Structure formats: structure tokens, C-alpha cells
Structure 1
Amino acid sequence: MTLNVLVIGAGMGGLTAALALQQAGHQVEVIDRVAELRPVGAAISVWSNGVKVLKALGLGDAVEQASGRMNDMAYLTKDGQPLTHFSLQPLYDQVGQRACPIARAALQQLLLDAVGPDNVTLGLACTDYRCDDSGVEATFDDGSTRRADLIVIADGTHSRLRERALGHAVERRYCGYVNWNVRVAATPDLAPLDRWVQYVGDHQRVSMMPMSGEGASPEFYCFFDVPLPAGTPNDPASYRDELARHFAGWAPPVQRLIERIDPAAMARVEIHDIEPLETLIGERAAILGDAAHGMAPDLGQGGCQAMEDAWVLARALDDADSDISAALQAYDRARVQRVGSIVTRARQRADTTHGADPAKTRAWYAELAEEDGTRIMGGMSKTILGGPLA
């Protein structure tokens, strides 16, 4: 049975859900409050479980071509001394797919083109919805309404529709650190062009990840993490000086990176997450993406889990022959525990990396010095192989 589906939010999760539902034969309209789609953040590390979803939706070749070749991984101390370096090929062999770090703008455009711009309405905010026996009626800030059989809530970590679906408020929790992220031209004096390099020390981190696709000028997806109190000043004109102060004395590649950033193109984000939710559904409503499981980015799984949500929701509707209630229950069973555990693990990793318990962070640095990649890739493979397309 063909359903009319209203997707609120045109981010990675909303567009992936729209595409999966379209391909399952449903009529889908995507609506977002922003007047222009501007990706939040410079890039996204789409790990193998996310790439598998994109491949199943027919975007695999395009994503592979637009993404970086991340062949190995290294950790270094803040002064540039090696801690560990290993090939990621054993991980890729085990899970059957390489990771695809990609510019957020590039991935968002691929998804938008696949969904069809005519199926996406921008500059319209959904303020509420109500359910009745025949479907859902959504209300928008211009006074208009739209009816559908199902509403998909994919409007991000600040979602108010999530609270409407669940019947209670959901508070965001500050994870204790600020992240600056940006794209820079990739050059060997910063890091090898096919290696994900991370410098760690003083509970801070600097990361450079290859993200350019075939035929493009090579770029790194770079970020800087610093534990800071919530509400510290956010002034783009001061970003370079602020980072130079936080990372004074760090290795020469870090200093060169700070010199080369474009503050106007940089995002500065106070990292928050939400407590794992007990359910991801309401009456005729599915919650997905950051609205369902806003998490710290320390496992690189936020976008990937949104893609998994989209795939699982579409398959649940298939399996239930579009019985919305049964499909939503199946979606909930498949996703609640998985995303809840990843939110928790991402929080634990964020705490360890950023010094919530300084003794644990020191112990982690010591572990890295003894690491041959087995433990790190083991954790990655566990996450990847727990997905719906393992």
C-alpha cells in the first residue's frame, strides 16, 4: 500500500529517509524550516555501516567517488611523537566496505538530487501536528496545514516535534568540550594524504581526516577539541588566536594547520547529547536521526545511525505491508537498544578523550602507545557489524 509520508527535516537523516521511502513506493514530501540548505559542519565520516545503506539506495558509486581514501590511522602525542599507526584494511576486509569521509555539502547534494528538489519545501517550519483516525495533520508557521498517513520527525537535536510525539521534554546534555571543524587543503606537511591522523594531549585533540574525492583537490576534514565550560564566547574573528592559545607548543603540523584555517568557513560547536530514549515512536510518528539519538561525535556514528534509521523504517513498512502501527513497533524494537548503546558508548569515549576523569585519560594515552590497531578496529567492527546491512 502506498502511503503519504511527511518528513520534517532535510538533513542527512531526513533526506535518507525520504529516499528510502520513495524507493519503497511511498509518496514523500520533505519540509525544512531553513530557507537554504547549508550543511552543519565541514564533513562527515561515513563509516562502513552508513556507506552500506547509501549503496543499497543506489548512491554507492557517487559517494565512493566523492569521498576520501582513508587507508590507515595514526595517533601522535601533542609534540608529534608516534603512539600508534596501523592500516585500516583489516577492518575493511572484515566488514566488507571501506569508510567514506565526505564533505557534508557533497553528501547532502547527492541525497537532495536523488530525492528530487521538487519534493523538498524549504523555509517552512512545522510547529505542531495532531493525529486522527484517518492520518496526521501537520501545522506550519505560515498557518497552512498538510495531511499525511505518517510523519517522520527528523528535525535535529533541538526538535520540539520529538517532545510532541513522546509527550515529555527531552533535555540536551553538555558533553564538556567545544569542537571547531573546518576543511583545509591537504598537503604532506600536515599529514599523509591517505591517513587519518590524530594528535592527543592535555585532554585535547586535533584530527585531520582525508575527505576529497576523485578528481578533486585534496582536502582534510579537520577538527580541534578543547574541554571548556558551556557558554564560552564564540567569535569567529578570534578562532585562530583562540586555537593558537589552546594548542601552543603542539607539533609543527598542528601549528601549520592553525595558520591555514579559514575562520569564516569554520564551525564552532559546544558538543551536546541526549539521554537514550525509551522509545523512538509516537502515534503515526517515527523519530530518527539527531532528534532520536543526538550523540557526541566521538564514534563518528551520528550520521551513520540516521542512515540506518531510514533504512530500517522503510523495511519495517515493507514487512508490515504498510500497517503503520505494526511498522512503527518493529522500527522501535530494531532501533531503541542499538542507538541507545551507541549514544552511551560515544559519551564514554568523549569523557575518556576529554579528561572527565584525568586518570582514565592518562591510561588511554598509555594504551595507545601499546596499541597495534586490534583493539581500536575491534570496537569499530562491532559497531559496523551490528547494523541492519551487516
Structure 2
Amino acid sequence: MSPRLLNVAVIGGGIGGLCLAQGLTRAGVHVTVYERDLSPDSRLQGFRLNIEPTGSTALHACLPPALWEVLVATAGDAGSGIGFLDERMRPLIHIGQDDPGHDPLDPATGEHAVSRITLRKLLLARLDDVVRFGKEFTGFARATDGTVTAKFTDGTTSTADVLVAADGANSRVWSQLHPALGRTALPAMAVAGKLFLTEENRRWLPHRLLAGKNVFWPRKDFLFTAVFRRREDPAAIIARLGDQVRGLGLDPEHLLADSHDNDYVLWAFITHRDSLPAGYTSNADDDPVAVRELLTERTAGWHPDLRRLLAESTPDSLYRTGFSAAQPLEPWETGNVTGLGDAVHHMPPVGGLGGNTALRDAHRLCTALTAAARGEQPLAQALRAYEEDMLRHGFDTVREVVRNTEAAITRSAVKRSTARWFFRTCGIIPPLGRMVFGER
């Protein structure tokens, strides 16, 4: 089977679409990304993203080696395992505490607390001729010659062999391909925030909050915390990796300019919407004072340091969101339009699994398209195998995240007490804990 010229159009410049573009560019496959944002710095905000081995493997495979090393260096150590505690900070179980130290550059075991700002800048590196900004997608049309044409609000079009939906949970590409797709709204509300680390608050913050990820399982509601501390500052990274970055035709000073993200503790509080006070309206979600009053009321009786963490977080870092999940799709006849990440299997932002799943999709789709471009597999066959794997893994993950969300917001005192008892029992009886959670 001879190689074929393959032209791929990606709609959406999020982490999944850009990871795919990096991988295809590295493999020599022609790709163009169409992003509705007006400029590369339109999204320089957001919380840390926990990159697990699945995401690490994808980024390692798709990024040039020098950019992978820069990513690892700028990231933070995710810490030793994950702790489960009650609202008084009494430990229930700690998973992963006995894991041996791993080489952070090893994608199979690496876990990284990545700044979304830095990740986006690295994923955009070397893609100046690939990413088209200010291109808002409106629809696509297929032709009898096997091509597909994307249309944009500015009146322009682009014709490609494959069109990829990477435009997020409200994907216009995917909704045209599957007009009957559904979404389930979950009765959950989350508030997240950042406490930037200072010399003063490092003195009162409990060690556990500075050591890694934590899940707090109170008698009502739910709290997650994680720490973000960079492994190296930009000056040290430039001194160590600058020549490798220059070898890619990039200016390391420019690449890492404004990339210093102050260290902080991230927290996310989740509650059942029906538990909100009668006077708390949807309009109050945008009022930091009302949000803080809600948190103060809901955390009465919690450990004072947890309450202080929420109270002293930077007001403009507060972020409120509702939860929804994509409904499963039946397999379809593979064509020249496919998708990845939230465009296909949108899920609640619990555990960071959505971002890692999008990166996994990007890696798998890159492998499939590269095999087709090299003549190793027919395009339709490669895309069919990708979609079968993507649907299975993606919606398995959606179901897992929905189960975890429902457990976190359950108002059943019996279920909450049973969960706390179970975690505590697994912590007290190590063989049981290893059987349930693996080596710890």
C-alpha cells in the first residue's frame, strides 16, 4: 500500500486539538487547526491540570523531545499519592504512599501538576503556520470525491480529507454529525479557588495540604485539594534546556516569558444543588461574597485550617460551575468526520480525567492518521479502529466520573457513613487496602 497525501483539518485549539496537531506535524502529516479565539493569549488563565500517565504518554509521543522536557520541568510534582480524610482532617486512607520514586521524564509513570497557561504555550510552539486564529466554525459539507469542507463565519472555507471535532463540549462539528446527541445535567454545583502560597500561610497550612492531592469526605458535601509548585523556575530551565529549544528554531526566553505561575493550593468544593439555601439564587453564583457566605455555612464544624483555606483564597480566583455529562453514542458508519475529547464524551471536571482522556484521544487519532498517511492502513479502517477505542474508553471514563460525582454529592447519611467506614477500614487493614486500591 503506497503512502497518500493526507490533509487534516482540526476544529478547536484546546489541549486535545493542539496535541493532535503537534503529533501530526512531527509525523509529517499536513494539518491545520481552526480556532475561534482571536489570538494565542486569549486563554491564558485557569487552574492546574493533573497529567496522569495516560496524558503523559500522549504528550511525550506528540511533542518534540525538547518541549516534553520543558513541560516536565515547568510542571509541579503531583505529590505522594492521594489522601482520603474526614472534615476534621482525620486520615481515612492514603493511596500511593509507598510508591517508589519515579523518573518524572518517564511518561509511563510520570504524573505532573501542569499549569494550563504553560501547557497551552508549549502546545502552540512551532505551530505558527498550522493554527489559524479568529476562525469560528459554522458547519461542514461532504463532497462525492471523499473530501469535507469546513465553513466559517468570515465567509471562508477549508477543504480537507479528514475533519476533526476538537471544539469542546458544545461542539458544532459533533452536533451536526450527531444531531440527536444528548447530555445529562447532574444536580451538582462546584466552587473552586486558589490560595497562593506565601511565607506566612506556609507556616499554618497543614503538611498534608502541601504534600499532594487530598479528598475530604465530610458528612455532607465534598472537598478536593492539590498543591501546585513548579519543579524549576524559568531561568533555570533556560540555562539547562535552552540549547535544545533553540535547536527547534524557538527562542527559549520568549517561550517561557510570563510563564511563571505562582505556587498555590487548589481546592474544589462540590455540593448537591438541592442542598443550597433557599435564599441562594443562581445570580448569587457570580457574587464572591455570596459564595464565601455559602462556603462558611456549609463548612461549619470542619477543621479550622480547611475553613481558613477557603476563606483566605484570592477572591478573583473563585470559579463556579455546574456539571453535565454526554450521553453514550451508538457506533456509526465511519466517514471523514471524527472527533476527540469533550466534543464527543464531555464529562464533569472531577479528578481531571477529561483532560487526560482528550490527550489520549489525540495520541490514538494521531497514530491512526499517520498510519493511513504512510500507506500502512486504509484511512477508513484506521479511523474505524480509532473510533471504536475512543468510544469505549471515553464513555467508560464518563461513567466512572459520573459515579464519583454522585457519590460526592449524595445526601444519604447511610451512604456517606458507609463510604467513610469503608475507607477507614481499608486504611486500618493494609491487605484489604491493597486488594481494593492496589499497592499503597
- Which AA in structure 2 matches 1:206? L
Rounded Cα–Cα distance in structure 2 between residues aligned with 1:377 and 1:345: 20
- Which AA in structure 2 matches 1:151? L
Q: Quote the offset at 1:130 in angstroms.
A: 0.8
1:292 aligned partner: 344
Counterpart pick for 1:208 among 198, 210, 225 = 225
Rounded Cα–Cα distance in structure 2 between residues aligned with 1:369 and 1:339: 31
Rounded Cα–Cα distance in structure 2 between residues aligned with 1:29 and 1:144: 14
Counterpart pick for 1:340 among 395, 419, 423 = 395
Rounded Cα–Cα distance in structure 2 between residues aligned with 1:129 and 1:108: 27
2:73 aligned partner: 65
- Distance 1:241-1:106 versus aligned 2 partners, 3 A rule: farther
State yes or no: 1:190 paired with 2:241.
no
Q: Quote the offset at 1:172 in angstroms.
A: 2.1
1:351 aligned partner: 406
State yes or no: 1:273 paired with 2:325.
yes
1:78 aligned partner: 87
State yes or no: 1:310 paired with 2:362.
yes
Counterpart pick for 1:30 among 29, 33, 44 = 33
TM-score after normalising by structure 1? 0.88
Q: Quote the offset at 1:46 in angstroms.
A: 1.1
Rounded Cα–Cα distance in structure 1 between residues aligned with 2:101 and 2:346: 26
- Distance 1:161-1:353 versus aligned 2 partners, 3 A rule: same
Counterpart pick for 1:174 among 171, 175, 185 = 185
2:382 aligned partner: 327
Q: Quote the offset at 1:182 in angstroms.
A: 2.8
User: Among the aligned pairs, what percent are the same residue?
Assistant: 25
Rounded Cα–Cα distance in structure 2 between residues aligned with 1:63 and 1:279: 36
Counterpart pick for 2:133 among 88, 103, 122 = 122
- Distance 1:128-1:96 versus aligned 2 partners, 3 A rule: closer
Rounded Cα–Cα distance in structure 2 between residues aligned with 1:299 and 1:279: 27
State yes or no: 1:99 paired with 2:111.
yes
Give CA deviations for 1:264-293 in whole Å, capped at 9, x if unaligned: 222211011111222488531111010111
Report if aligned partners of 2:141, 2:149 keep a CA contact under 8 Å in 1.
Answer: yes
- Partner of 1:106: helix, strand, or coil? helix
Aligned length: 380
Report if aligned partners of 1:63, 1:100 keep a CA contact under 8 Å in 2.
Answer: no
Comparing 303-312 with 117-126, greater Cα deviation is found at 117-126
Rounded Cα–Cα distance in structure 2 between residues aligned with 1:280 and 1:46: 31
Which ranges of structure 1 fall in alignment gaps of 5 or more residues?
383-390
- Partner of 2:170: helix, strand, or coil? coil
- Distance 1:161-1:34 versus aligned 2 partners, 3 A rule: same
1:388 aligned partner: none
Rounded Cα–Cα distance in structure 1 between residues aligned with 2:171 and 2:437: 29
1:49 aligned partner: 54
Question: Which stretches of structure 1, 4 residues or longer, exceed 4 Å deviation after superposition?
Answer: 91-96, 373-382
Q: What is the root-mean-square deviation in Å for CA atoms of aligned residues?
A: 2.8
Instruction: Give 1 or 2 for the bigger CA radius of gyration.
Output: 2
TM-score after normalising by structure 2? 0.78
